[in-house]
Amino acid sequence: MDPKTAPRTRLFVTADLNAGEVIELEDGQIHHLVNVLRLTDGAPIALFNGRDGEWLAEIERAGKRHYRARIGQPLRDQESGPDLWLLFAPIKRRPIDLIGEKATELGAALLWPVITGRTNVARVNLERLGKGVIEAAQQCGRLGVPELRPPAPLGEVIAAWPAGRRLLVLDESGTAPPIAEVLGNAPPRGGDAILIGPEGGFARSELDAMAKQAFVRRVGMGRRILRAETAAIAALACWQALIGDWRAAGPEKIGK
Amino acid sequence: MDPKTAPRTRLFVTADLNAGEVIELEDGQIHHLVNVLRLTDGAPIALFNGRDGEWLAEIERAGKRHYRARIGQPLRDQESGPDLWLLFAPIKRRPIDLIGEKATELGAALLWPVITGRTNVARVNLERLGKGVIEAAQQCGRLGVPELRPPAPLGEVIAAWPAGRRLLVLDESGTAPPIAEVLGNAPPRGGDAILIGPEGGFARSELDAMAKQAFVRRVGMGRRILRAETAAIAALACWQALIGDWRAAGPEKIGK
């Protein structure tokens, strides 16, 4: 089936997806399909779980408020997306919602709140963030949702940084080389990550400590002051345009 | 005065700015300065009007709810920013607010709602959009605010397109060349513009009609479905990174 004629309603599920099998739907999913979208028994939807590609399915009514999905034919093969992480200092609720939604649309593989010296937001509602990224993944056509990590202090994140992965740190001091220059022609073999600081920026000591790490590259994005969520969206977009999956034209598959 | 030690409170005004002169503040500005920020008589602020650069000023109490600003020394010279327009099909209120705020942070010179065949939002609240871009300009350090044009039908916009200005049309069909390829190494002499279509994209006939125009270049931004506001922010960021004022590192002036 041509993806363009595939059902527009896409549902992320955790169950394995195999032809002919039936999976139970959760209350929230049933509410969305039946009450919001007004889908009825037999309506076609598409399912994905981040592992098994995308499948055609039919809604099946099994009781008063009980619906299941009967899996039909495969629509798309699973494909891994770009190996790009987004680390960000926690900010207020609405900008965090925005980062979750937009980073998902822009193909980030992992979202990780990082506590810095000037971070003035104490906690992140990971459940809320998780719901937002699932909705965005369903809407934008991804075959998986970004992994969410619980918040961790910047020092610990840097100390346990995975070998081979680059860390692009947005540095607003005006002395960092421009992002287009730093990104280069391809992501490193070990993957890439973007780190966006808090309102008010990183402390000088944090920037100095990070600059000593071989995996860190400072990047600049001009001299206007960008809000944290703007910087995150902008950096992800530049990454996709320059070294990510926006470089290929034509109807290739949509990545995870 | 080093911009870093300049007052953090920046105010956009319409009056001319000359040393020693006094300008009246509007009720909304007074409310913001006095009630929200708790500034008092004599507090330093910075003023800009998009023509005369940025100036140090002092708040002067002139009556019970009457405040003025006494202009002091100049802080920064006026400088023109990138000649980049953003045209977008009107969408719902919140995404439009977001486009206004983020396009201002990302240095757009002009915002223009364009009515397309599939546009399903009837009107744009230009007053609300105008307030949003002024707030964003004050916050991000720009020396001017983007010009706002009233909504116009796509056909009329294309028919009266200014000579020499390029029009980059986001084409989600999957056949357009990648944005990084199309942008090239510098903006055209006549300036540049980005056009983002409505939810559901442009009609085939609209894309075909635009493709016939010599000033139009179709651009692709990958295969995930981007919301209109995500596409607008992403395209502006790519433009600034690749051919805009993010290419220069170092403490150059912030553009208009």
**pLDDT at A250 exceeding the cut of 70:** no
What is the pLDDT at residue B125? Answer: 93
Residue A255's pLDDT band (cuts 50, 70, 90): very low
What is the pLDDT at residue B250? Answer: 54
Flag whether the ipTM exceeds 0.90: yes
Question: Best of A76, A224, A242, A245 to disrupt the B interface by mutation (most B CBs within 10 Å)?
Answer: A224
What is the pLDDT at residue A248? Answer: 83
What pTM does this model have? 0.93
CB B25 within 8 A of CB B62: no
What is the pLDDT at residue A174? Answer: 86
Over range A134-149, report the average pLDDT.
96
What is the pLDDT at residue A109? Answer: 98
CB B151 within 8 A of CB B113: yes
For A149-185, write each residue's pLDDT tens digit.
Answer: 999 999 999 999 999 999 999 998 888 999 999 999 9
Q: Which of B220, B224, B247 sits opposite A107 (nearest CB)?
A: B224
Q: Which of A179, A241, A252 sits opposite B179 (nearest CB)?
A: A241
What is the pLDDT at residue B169? Answer: 97
d(CA A31, CA B150): 40
What is the pLDDT at residue A121? Answer: 79
CB B161 within 8 A of CB B213: yes
d(CA A194, CA A157): 13
d(CA A213, CA A172): 18
What is the pLDDT at residue A122? Answer: 73
- B242 contacts in A (CB within 8 Å)? 180, 241-242
**pLDDT at A111 exceeding the cut of 70:** yes
Please name the residue ranges forming H helices in chain A.
Answer: 27-30, 93-105, 126-140, 154-159, 179-183, 204-211, 228-243
Helices and strands (H, E) in chain B, number of each type: 7, 12
What is the pLDDT at residue B256? Answer: 42
What residue ranges define each of the domains in chain A, with the CATH number in brackets? Answer: 10-76 (2.40.240.20), 84-243 (3.40.1280.10)
What is the pLDDT at residue B211? Answer: 92
What is the pLDDT at residue A148? Answer: 97
Stated length of chain A = 256
Task: Report the 10 Å Cβ neighbour count for A65.
Answer: 11
Q: Which residues pair with B148 in a beta bridge?
A: B111
d(CA B178, CA A248): 6
Render B200-247 in DSSP notation, one character per residue. Answer: T---HHHHHHHHTSTTEEEEB--SSPPPHHHHHHHHHHHHHHHHSTTS
Q: Which of A106, A174, A225 sits opposite B251 (nearest CB)?
A: A174
For A212-230, write each residue's pLDDT tens digit.
Answer: 999 999 999 999 999 999 9
What is the pLDDT at residue B121? Answer: 79
Burial A105-117, CB ≥16 within 10 A → b, else e: bbbbbbbbbbbbb
Q: Is A60 helix (H, G, I), strand (E, B) or coil?
A: strand
- A252 contacts in B (CB within 8 Å)? 223
Cβ distance of A225 and B141 shorter than 8 Å: yes
What is the pLDDT at residue B255? Answer: 46
Per-10-residue mean pLDDT for chain B, 256 residues long? 70 96 94 92 96 96 92 94 95 91 98 91 89 96 96 96 97 92 94 94 93 96 95 98 87 46
For A41-81, write each residue's pLDDT tens digit.
Answer: 999 999 999 999 999 999 999 988 899 999 999 999 998 88
For A235, the closest chain B residue by CA position comes to B237
Nearest in space to B159 (alpha carbons), one of B170, B147, B167, B171: B167
For A101, the closest chain B residue by CA position comes to B230
